[in-house]
Amino acid sequence: MSEIHAHTTLYVRDTMIDQQVPPLTQKGAVKWVRENLVSSWLNIVLTVLSIAAVWYIISHLAPWFLNSIWNAGSLTECREILAAHSLVGEAGGACWGVIRDRWTQLMFGFYPPEFYWRSILALVLLFVALLPVLFPQQISSRFYILSAIYPFVMVWLLWGGSFWTPVLTMAGFGAGYLAYRIAFPVGGAIAATVAAILGTLLWWIVAMPLINDTLHRVVAESRMQETRAERVLLQETLPPQIAEIDAVRTAITAEINETVTRKNDILRPILAEQMRRSAVPLLAEVSDLFANLSDQSPAPDLVPAIISAKRLFLPFATERASESLAPLLTEIKATVAVNITPDNLADVQASIAPLKAQIVEAQTIADADPMPDASLAAAQAEFDSVMQHLTRLRESLTALGADHFRLSEQKRAADGLVRNIDTLTQNVANLPDLRATAEEARANLPESVALLEAVPSGGARSAYEAADLTALQSVLNAEQGLITADVAVRSTYNEVGRIGLQPVPSSAFGGFQLSLIIGITGIVMSLPLGILLALGRQSNLFIINKVSVGFIEIIRGVPLIVWLLTAQFLLNYFLPPGTTFDLVLRVIIMVTLFASAYIAEVVRGGLAALPSGQYEAADALGLDYWRSMRLIVLPQALKISIPGIVNTFIGLFKDTTLVLFIGLYDPLGLAGTIRASTDWNGIYWELFIFIGVLFFIFCFSMGRYSKYLENKLQRENR
């Protein structure tokens, strides 16, 4: 081999060539355009077509957006404003007045306005709590503590209650840890885990309500009379305040009515002038047309032209006709609208003959009293300012309405609390008696009706003795009395003894806030659950494997809406009787379970994509299962799964809109409510665009973060 080479080697390079710059057309913008826009004829055609399509869409949408109306209290007013600026005919305009009017509702649902700050603070803190998780390299790991306590703070801020409730809830984990430490030396890891879970649950279910009630009672008893005095004072001071607000409301309502009248007065001449202006050229045209029609013998090609005269008047029909021109134009329209055929042409001509004179008259009117451009502009400006004023008035009226509602609620609550405090001693004293009576009566109940929960009515009654039913009725009454007294005592203690935020019921939650609560909680909880399910599905342990597979397949195989309806209607059947279980919480659980099944499958894909050598290397180093998963397998598998996981998150977040079907008011549900009101009946684009943009912002941010994370991890591992 080497001998052959010795004879054929004719060339040996002695210097190496240095790097050189590429030619001009092969770099920079020129290269980019050449390669990406005009690289072939097909590419050129596609480029031109795409630009044309984009232009077509933008040119049709832009005027609508540019003619945005913000100062309107109803759809009708929106249309008036568009008409006043003669914008009705073409693209029209976007009526964002609905957003201005209802955006708080779209954002917060029926959450009390005086507590919006709690909701906003919760959102701001969310971002603070997310930072250490999202950007672990830039932020010290000490701040993870913020992320860990955030969920409890969030629940407390949003739902309210005493400040010790979140603390006690967190203490549950402490109880679990304590149980773990105690059980570990005795029973090993598995027993300790069971003990930890049991300890936590025991704390939450048994110890926490006890401590909570006791704290409330202690605090309540220490300041019962003070609180009563405060509330009595409120009972006295609130009614005058409410009356004051009502007076202002009446005044503003009167001003609004007045302003509406003024607005209409300004609007009328503006519309008339605009009609006149558009009528001038049209009248001339119509007059020419009619002249042709009556003077000449009928030319067939003229017929469609006459019919199209009808179309010329259509813009008029949609505007408010002024008194002088309207009847005439209507008549012309009616006449020309008749389908002209050679047979009825004579009739048409006959009926048009008198109109000709009227057209001349109309032209005279139209030319007679033109409003100068300056006056029109001034009138329009005045109209706009009146509209603005009107919108402000309406806003202050809405605010006053909210105040009125809040004070009335406070008054009602004060009435109730004072009543409860006054009867508290009595109620507390009565409780043992009531309980004894109820229990005794229940024990002595005749066997035939002992299992009934209600007194049967109608035909069903005949199956029981009348005396037995009477006994049952008295038992039920006694139990009802007991419950009423018990609830009165409990709520009094809770109300007086609360140190913290006023509670807000879940039924008040709504709007984008609700979507965020469900979406984010679902996202945060479904990821760990999904990872566990994925590991379970990969596990060699038969039971764990099959349970995971079954869970994933069942949850995934049934539509989310079915699970939500299950949460709404069926879940109570599976819970012990008497448990009330917040609907929002139920929805969160269902959404979490649903998303975790998807996450599990995505993560399983990541686990499967990992070369088996990684598992083996981890094993060979002596790492146990959980460590090798946590340190070696999951970091890599999750990295592979990021796009799929974020995709699932985005899907989950958008799926929160499904809660509208179970009676929760997410933004879409509220859109329905808003559209059902008389003011905004018939509006849809603006509302749905707004809601869409809200969702888009969040989903798009998630998508960008996923991209950032992918790039970052890609860089690290290269």
Partner 1 sequence: MADAATDREIDHSQMKISDEVAIQVTSMNKWFGTFHVLRDINLTVYRGERIVICGPSGSGKSTLIRCINRLEEHQAGTIIVDGTELSSDLKNIDKIRSEVGMCFQHFNLFPHLTILENCTLAPIWVRKTPKKEAEEIAMHFLQKVKIPEQANKYPGQLSGGQQQRVAIARSLCMKPRIMLFDEPTSALDPEMIKEVLDTMIQLAEEGMTMLCVTHEMGFAQAVANRVIFMDQGQIVEQNEPREFFNNPQSDRTKLFLSQILGH
Which member of 60, 311, 461, 627 binds partner 1 (CB under 8 A)?
627
Instruction: Determine the Cα–Cα distance for residues 178 and 585; give it in Å rounded to an integer.
Output: 28
616 binds partner 1 (CB under 8 A): yes
Which member of 408, 448, 545, 636 binds partner 1 (CB under 8 A)?
636
Residue 687 three-state SS: helix
Residue placing its CB nearer to partner 1 in the complex, 455 or 623: 623
Instruction: Determine the Cα–Cα distance for residues 671 and 584; give it in Å rounded to an integer.
Output: 20
Residue placing its CB nearer to partner 1 in the complex, 571 or 713: 713
Minimum CB separation of residue 505 from partner 1 in Å reads 47
Instruction: Determine the Cα–Cα distance for residues 317 and 337; give it in Å rounded to an integer.
Output: 13
632 binds partner 1 (CB under 8 A): yes
Q: Which residues contact 673 (CB under 8 A, 6 or more apart)?
A: 665
Please provide the DSSP assignment of 344-407 as one string: THHHHHHHHHHHHHHHHHHHHHHHHSPPPHHHHHHHHHHHHHHHHHHHHHHHHHHHHHHHHHHH
Minimum CB separation of residue 698 from partner 1 in Å reads 29
**Interface stretch with partner 1, choices 145-153, 272-280, 608-616, 701-709 (CB under 8 A):** 608-616
**Interface stretch with partner 1, choices 84-92, 461-469, 663-671, 710-718 (CB under 8 A):** 710-718
Instruction: Determine the Cα–Cα distance for residues 106 and 513; give it in Å rounded to an integer.
Output: 9
Q: Which tokens belong to 582?
A: 């917040």
Minimum CB separation of residue 625 from partner 1 in Å reads 8
Burial class (CB in 10 A: 0-12, 13-18, 19+), 530: buried
Residue placing its CB nearer to partner 1 in the complex, 13 or 718: 718
Q: Which residues contact 389 (CB under 8 A, 6 or more apart)?
A: 259
Residue placing its CB nearer to partner 1 in the complex, 518 or 618: 618
Q: Which tokens belong to 683?
A: 């509006």
Give the DSSP H or E segment for 573.
Answer: helix 571-574
197 binds partner 1 (CB under 8 A): no
Minimum CB separation of residue 716 from partner 1 in Å reads 7
Which member of 432, 624, 678, 682 binds partner 1 (CB under 8 A)?
624
The answer to whether the beta carbons of residues 111 and 510 sit under 8 Å apart is yes
614 binds partner 1 (CB under 8 A): yes
Task: Residue 336: name the closest of 362, 303, 361, 291 by CA.
Answer: 303
Give the DSSP H or E segment for 162.
Answer: strand 161-162
577 binds partner 1 (CB under 8 A): no
**Interface stretch with partner 1, choices 87-95, 259-267, 591-599, 623-631 (CB under 8 A):** 623-631
Which member of 24, 186, 620, 676 binds partner 1 (CB under 8 A)?
620
Minimum CB separation of residue 636 from partner 1 in Å reads 5
The answer to whether the beta carbons of residues 333 and 313 sit under 8 Å apart is yes
Minimum CB separation of residue 630 from partner 1 in Å reads 9
Instruction: Determine the Cα–Cα distance for residues 81 and 550; give it in Å rounded to an integer.
Output: 60
The answer to whether the beta carbons of residues 286 and 332 sit under 8 Å apart is yes
Q: Which tokens belong to 234?
A: 């409120």
713 binds partner 1 (CB under 8 A): yes
The count of residues interacting with partner 1 (CB under 8 A) is: 22
Which member of 611, 676, 678, 682 binds partner 1 (CB under 8 A)?
611
Which member of 218, 299, 631, 693 binds partner 1 (CB under 8 A)?
631
635 binds partner 1 (CB under 8 A): yes
The answer to whether the beta carbons of residues 166 and 499 sit under 8 Å apart is no
716 binds partner 1 (CB under 8 A): yes
Q: Which residues contact 261 (CB under 8 A, 6 or more apart)?
A: none
**Interface stretch with partner 1, choices 51-59, 305-313, 419-427, 615-623 (CB under 8 A):** 615-623
Minimum CB separation of residue 633 from partner 1 in Å reads 10
**In one letter, which amino acid is 317?**
A
718 binds partner 1 (CB under 8 A): yes
Minimum CB separation of residue 529 from partner 1 in Å reads 23
623 binds partner 1 (CB under 8 A): yes
Site for partner 1 in 231-270 (CB under 8 A): none
Which residues are near partner 1 by CB under 8 A?
Answer: 611, 613-614, 616-624, 627, 631-632, 635-636, 639, 713, 716-718
